[in-house]
């Protein structure tokens, strides 16, 4: 639509707005009507404006845990319900562990037996060492007598054989000591395994948090991998949104994004806050053709998992016009601005778009050469004389 057509369409609306607002009339002030009004002015901003889009998502806790069973056993006791606050290490679910406890006792008994066997092997080695010393001494005496022709060759052979037998028994004893030590280490390891396995019967909280879901009841049979309780850490939340692949390139980890969370404000009103992008998925979802973006939220004390939120995501730049927010005059759904025309203020209807930084985008009603009154004083009327000061002085037409 051309500028001429837009102005023709806006003129009747301007007349209706003038009748409705009274103070901002559509008639030009008389030539001698009062002194000029001092106003602040600024030129319409023209240039590249960043476009944005809102992406909706769900608030989730930054840290969640789904506690599962690691053994097959009947559920004996469930000590929590959804909504309970728990501490790290607090027991949540108790499984029947009588067979595990019996296995642990058996492993401990086997460990004690292995330890006693190790003691016996050490004693046997000490006896074998003493026998070797005695056999060696006897061999030395017989050898000395044999040299003096006081002992026969048979006696020397018998002493030599006794020494060799004693040394063999000592080597055997040392082997049994090594064997008993290995058996003792194995028994102790089996005892540790039994103790750890028995501990699986008590499912505890891995961190401080809130129970959000109970998935088992007493009497159920728990099996390895079966979910029991869902837990979340309420000390930090994040907003998870899906971003179209065409806009994912404009979102990067660490970026600050404006976020609105429904129901997180006073009296369950929407709450505005700033979030930081913590993670952008490396792969696109095949079904939605979108990337998952996780935005860390500040701690407000009012956030809950499952709340709906919206994040304002950046986009490519485009040419456009913008004016300061204070320059906009609102009368119901009618928006207008005062434009400087030489030494007078002219009320002009405008069509506004999105917020751009501290200003508002103007879709129709202004040109890049226009100068607007930034903060119109109360009672300023269309056609009233003004003295302009600010970024730009004077008029455009």
Same domain, 124 and 152: yes
Does some domain include residue 24?
A: yes
Alpha helices per DSSP H over 25-97: none
Same domain, 238 and 157: no
End-to-end CA distance of the chain: 23
Does some domain include residue 114?
A: yes
Measured CA to CA, the distance from residue 194 to residue 171 in angstroms comes to: 34
Alpha helices per DSSP H over the chain: 3-21, 98-147, 153-199
Q: What is the mean pLDDT of residues 314-338?
A: 85
Q: Which of 297, 317, 337 is the last residue of a domain?
A: 317
Measured CA to CA, the distance from residue 227 to residue 366 in angstroms comes to: 62
Tokens coding 108: 């401990």
Q: Are strands 85-86 and 91-95 parallel, antiparallel or unpaired?
A: unpaired
- pLDDT beyond 90 at 220: yes
Q: Are strands 308-324 and 256-261 parallel, antiparallel or unpaired?
A: antiparallel
Same domain, 292 and 374: no
Same domain, 104 and 195: yes
Same domain, 289 and 153: no
Phi/psi at 58 (nearest 5 deg)? -120, 140
Same domain, 112 and 192: yes
Tokens coding 379: 């009672």
Give per-residue pLDDT as tens, 142-185.
Answer: 888 888 888 888 888 888 898 898 889 889 888 888 888 888 88
Measured CA to CA, the distance from residue 325 to residue 375 in angstroms comes to: 9
Give per-residue pLDDT as tens, 221-265.
Answer: 999 999 999 999 988 899 999 888 777 778 889 989 999 999 888
Q: At which residue do the structure tokens 């302009």 appear?
A: 388
Could you tell me if 131 and 166 are in contact, meaning their C-beta atoms sit under 8 angstroms apart? yes
Does some domain include residue 397?
A: no
Torsion (CA) 122, 123, 129, 131 in degrees, nearest 10 = -150
Same domain, 11 and 137: no
The domain total for the chain is 4
Identify which has the larger pLDDT, 31 or 120.
Answer: 120
Same domain, 190 and 216: no
Does some domain include residue 395?
A: no
Same domain, 191 and 102: yes
Q: By residue range, what is the domain housing residue 31?
A: 3-51+318-390
């Amino acid at each position: 639509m051309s500028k001429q057509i837009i102005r023709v369409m806006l003129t009747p609306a301007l007349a209706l707005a003038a009748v409705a607002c009274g103070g901002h009339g559509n008639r030009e002030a008389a030539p001698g009507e009062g002194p000029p009004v001092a106003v602040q002015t600024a030129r319409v901003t023209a240039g590249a404006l960043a476009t944005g889009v809102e992406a909706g998502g769900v608030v989730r806790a930054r840290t969640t845990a789904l506690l599962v069973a690691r053994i097959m056993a009947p559920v004996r006791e469930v000590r929590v319900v959804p909504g309970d606050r728990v501490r790290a290490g607090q027991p949540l679910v108790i499984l029947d562990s009588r067979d595990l406890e019996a296995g642990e006792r058996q492993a401990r008994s086997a460990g004690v037996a292995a330890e006693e066997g190790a003691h016996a092997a050490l004693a046997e080695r000490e006896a074998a060492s003493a026998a070797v010393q005695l056999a060696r001494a006897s061999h030395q005496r017989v050898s000395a007598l044999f040299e003096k022709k006081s002992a026969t060759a048979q006696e020397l052979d018998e002493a030599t054989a006794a020494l060799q037998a004693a040394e063999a028994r000592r080597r055997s004893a040392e082997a049994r000591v090594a064997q008993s030590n290995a058996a003792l280490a194995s028994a102790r390891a089996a005892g540790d395994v039994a103790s750890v396995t028995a501990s699986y019967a008590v499912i505890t909280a891995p961190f401080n948090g809130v129970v959000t879901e109970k998935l088992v009841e007493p009497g159920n049979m728990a099996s390895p991998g079966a979910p029991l309780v869902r837990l979340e850490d309420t000390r930090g939340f994040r907003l998870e949104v899906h971003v179209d692949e065409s806009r994912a390139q404009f979102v990067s980890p660490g970026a600050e994004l404006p976020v609105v969370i429904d129901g997180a404000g006073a009296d369950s009103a929407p709450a505005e806050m700033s979030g930081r992008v913590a993670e952008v998925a490396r792969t696109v979802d095949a079904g939605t053709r979108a990337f998952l973006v996780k935005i860390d939220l500040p701690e407000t004390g009012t956030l809950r998992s499952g709340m709906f939120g919206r994040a304002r995501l950046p986009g490519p730049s485009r040419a456009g016009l913008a004016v300061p927010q204070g320059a906009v005059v609102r009368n119901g759904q009618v928006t207008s601005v005062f434009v400087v025309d030489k030494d007078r203020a002219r009320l002009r209807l405008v069509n506004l778009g999105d917020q751009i930084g501290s200003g508002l985008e103007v879709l129709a009603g202004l040109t890049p050469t226009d100068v607007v009154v930034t903060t119109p004083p109360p009672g300023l009327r269309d056609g009233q004389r003004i003295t302009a000061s600010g970024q730009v002085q004077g008029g455009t037409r």
